[in-house]
């Protein structure tokens, strides 16, 4: 056994030497070298001379007290290996043991690296989670916003479609189809903008001002809301100030969005009575007042009305509570302001104004809102002429008799007159004489289905500027009006 024990001890000593490459330094109390076992050169240290100061070679000994047990871990050696250092006090000095821990250091380094990587990943994950949370909030806000915008035209489409199911009047059915088309176009417009807006944060909406014709906007508003109001037995009235320019410059989609939100709210909350929309314009600003006879709001509700996702407790139907929040932001974006006057049981009045400078369309597109009076008792003829003249940029007024024509011409700054030959209470020949006698000096175009040469001569003698035969091409009628604009009536032209 003794022999085996010796062998094992020898084997363990050899393994220990190979694994740990120990170096023993036997030092006196002043770190003088008394003896060295092992080869310190394997760690890059110079072999110190006997009696010399060991700290000259082993600088980690500076600050070490030879009278105390000391353990230094992972000390880097001159040749970039690594050792653990153990200082053992002895009677005459101390013993210093260096053992190789290069492998441990490498393992420690790898562990540290992994720890750092994990920490870094955790940090990145936290940042990503923050981003995700923010994006989720923006997305939720955005979706709620858009849902609100889709709901109103969709409601109009549904209402018109339901009406068409029961419509016995073909003409009314045509109006319904038109309203459905407009509402669908509005939705399509929103979807188009959705693609653009997805690029922006919710507070970074950009305005895209374009020339827009107010009559188109008013027609759309009426087509969108009148059926809803009428279906509830309410009145729906839209009035526009005569000072309103035919064209203004504004972001059409945003302006429409504002109108739809405010009028939609008024229609939604009003059960009896009606909704009145008044539009005015002055000094480059469009002013809109929407008055309803709904239940009104108390002070608490009014204080929260612009906050997102806030809806009245008794709000009818679905909604995200974003309408007025969006509206105010858009109004302010359009350099305007909004105010609400309301009280319980007194209805609500919303007044807002936005920048909308007047726009003069280029001459090629027609007139800039000049008044043209169409005098014809046939509404089919009036409707189609009004359409073409409106398209050409004129503001069109209707008179279905001579008497009505004289009244209209007395109250308006009339640019031109288009009249039928036969009217219920007078002839076109007599009427043009009356107009001239009243001082009207602008163009008068007689438009008739009769192509008699005698009628032409009579028209000229009565004071007509031009004589055209129905059906005249719209561009020819417009050209005729332009041709005669700005000069007193003269010889009639052949039609």
Partner 1 sequence: MSRARLEPLLLRYRRGLPAKARELEALASAGLYGNRALTELLHQIAGAAGFYGEHEIARRARQLEQRVSCGPEDAAAETADRNAFERLVTQLASAR
Say how many CA atoms lie within 13 Å of 334 toward its Cβ. Answer: 32
Interface pick for partner 1 out of 72, 144, 164, 177 (rule CB under 8 A): 177
Distance CA 384, CA 370 (A): 18
Helices (H) and strands (E) in the chain, counts: 12, 17
Confirm or reject binding of residue 218 to partner 1 (CB under 8 A). Answer: no
**Whole-number Å distance between alpha carbons of 460 and 467:** 8
Q: Does 450 bind partner 1 (CB under 8 A)?
A: yes
The window from 11-19, 40-48, 167-175, 262-270 that contacts partner 1 (CB under 8 A) reads 167-175
Give the nearer residue to partner 1 in terms of CB position, either 121 or 185: 185
* Cβ proximity of 100 and 20 under 8 Å: yes
Q: Which is nearer to partner 1, 330 or 372 (CB)?
A: 372
Q: Is residue 21 a contact partner of residue 42, using CB atoms and an 8 Å limit? A: yes
- Residue 345 corresponds to which tokens in the numbers above? 């049981």
Figure out which of the listed residues 182, 186, 226, 359 binds partner 1, where binding follows CB under 8 A: 182
**Dist. CA 225–CA 223, nearest whole Å:** 6
Among 387, 407, 410, 441, binds partner 1 (CB under 8 A): 387
72 binds partner 1 (CB under 8 A): no
Are 68 and 87 within 8 A, CB to CB?
Answer: yes
In whole angstroms, how close is the CB of 178 to partner 1 at the nearest point? 4
State which of residues 355, 378, 434, 493 lies at the interface with partner 1 (CB under 8 A): 378
Identify residues 469-488 at the interface with partner 1 (CB under 8 A): 470-471
Segment near partner 1 (CB under 8 A), from 61-69, 120-128, 377-385, 487-495?
377-385
Q: How far is the CB of 383 from partner 1 (least distance, A)?
A: 6
Minimum Å distance from CB 174 to partner 1?
4
Shorter beta-carbon distance to partner 1: residue 330 or 392 = 392
Cis peptide before 409, with omega less than 30 degrees from 0? no
DSSP-based three-state secondary structure for 320: coil
In the bound complex, what is the minimum distance in angstroms from residue 230's beta carbon to partner 1? 18
DSSP 371-428: EEEEE-S-HHHHHHHHHHHHHTT-EEEEESSHHHHHHHHHHS-EEEEEEESB-SSSBH
What burial class does residue 215 get, using C-beta atoms within 10 Å of its C-beta: 0-12 exposed, 13-18 middle, 19+ buried? middle
Q: Does residue 391 bind partner 1 (CB under 8 A)?
A: yes
CB of 388 to partner 1, least distance (A): 8
**Residue 103 binding partner 1, by CB under 8 A:** no
Q: How far apart (Å, rounded) are the C-alpha atoms in residues 161 and 43?
A: 93
> Is 296 in a helix, a strand, or coil?
coil
The β-bridge partners of 278 are 239, 289
The C-alpha R_g of the chain, in whole angstroms, comes to: 46
In the complex, least distance from residue 472 CB atom to partner 1, rounded to whole angstroms: 8
> In the complex, what is the shortest distance from the CB of residue 446 to partner 1, in angstroms, rounded to a whole number?
12
| Contact residue for partner 1 among 201, 383, 425, 430 (CB under 8 A) | 383
Q: Of 113-121, 173-181, 316-324, 406-414, which part binds partner 1 (CB under 8 A)?
A: 173-181
Interface with partner 1 (CB under 8 A): 170-171, 173-175, 177-178, 181-182, 185, 216, 219, 378, 380-381, 383-385, 387, 391, 420, 422, 448-450, 470-471
């Amino acid at each position: 056994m003794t022999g085996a024990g010796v062998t094992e001890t020898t084997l363990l000593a050899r393994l220990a030497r190979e694994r740990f490459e120990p170096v023993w330094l036997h030092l006196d109390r002043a770190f003088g070298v008394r003896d060295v076992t092992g080869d310190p050169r394997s760690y890059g240290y110079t072999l110190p001379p006997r009696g010399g100061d060991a700290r000259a070679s082993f600088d980690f000994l500076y600050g070490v007290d030879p009278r105390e047990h000391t353990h230094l871990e992972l000390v880097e050696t001159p040749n970039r290996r690594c050792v653990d250092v153990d200082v053992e006090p002895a009677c005459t000095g101390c013993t210093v043991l260096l053992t190789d821990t290069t492998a441990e250091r490498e393992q420690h380094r790898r562990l540290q690296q992994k720890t750092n990587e994990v920490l870094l990943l955790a940090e990145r994950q936290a940042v990503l989670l923050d981003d995700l949370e923010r994006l989720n909030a923006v997305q939720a806000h955005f979706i709620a916003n858009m849902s609100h915008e889709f709901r109103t035209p969709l409601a109009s489409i549904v209402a018109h479609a339901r009406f068409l199911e029961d419509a016995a009047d073909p003409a009314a059915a045509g109006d319904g189809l038109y309203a459905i088309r407009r509402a669908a176009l509005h939705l399509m417009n929103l979807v188009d903008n959705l693609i653009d807006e997805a690029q922006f944060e919710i507070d970074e909406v950009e305005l895209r001002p374009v020339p827009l014709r107010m009559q188109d906007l008013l027609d759309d508003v009426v087509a969108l809301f009148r059926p809803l109001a009428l279906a509830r037995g309410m009145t729906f009235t839209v009035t526009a100030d005569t000072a309103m320019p035919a064209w203004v410059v504004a972001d059409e989609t945003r302006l429409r969005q504002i109108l739809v939100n405010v009028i939609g709210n008024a229609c939604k909350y009003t059960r009896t009575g009606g909704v009145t929309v008044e539009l005015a314009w002055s000094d480059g600003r469009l002013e809109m007042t929407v008055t309803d006879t709904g239940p009104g709001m108390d002070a608490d509700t009014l204080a929260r009305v612009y906050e997102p996702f806030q809806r009245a407790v008794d709000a009818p139907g679905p909604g995200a509570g974003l309408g007025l929040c969006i509206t105010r932001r858009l109004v302010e974006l359009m350099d305007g302001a909004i105010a609400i006057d309301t009280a319980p049981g007194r209805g609500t009045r919303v007044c807002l104004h936005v920048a909308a400078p007047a726009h003069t369309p280029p001459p090629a597109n027609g007139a800039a809102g000049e008044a043209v009076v169409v005098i014809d008792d046939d509404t089919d003829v009036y409707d189609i002429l009004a359409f073409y003249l409106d398209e050409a940029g004129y503001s069109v007024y209707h008179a279905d008799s001579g008497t009505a024509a004289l009244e209209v011409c007395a109250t308006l700054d009339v640019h031109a007159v288009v009249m039928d030959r036969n009217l219920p209470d007078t002839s076109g020949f007599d009427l043009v004489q009356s107009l001239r006698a009243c001082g009207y000096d602008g163009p008068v175009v007689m438009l008739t289905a009769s192509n008699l040469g005698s009628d032409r001569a009579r028209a000229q003698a009565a004071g007509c500027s031009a004589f055209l035969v129905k059906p005249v091409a719209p561009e020819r009628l417009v050209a005729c009006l332009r041709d005669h604009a700005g000069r007193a009536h003269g010889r009639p032209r052949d039609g």
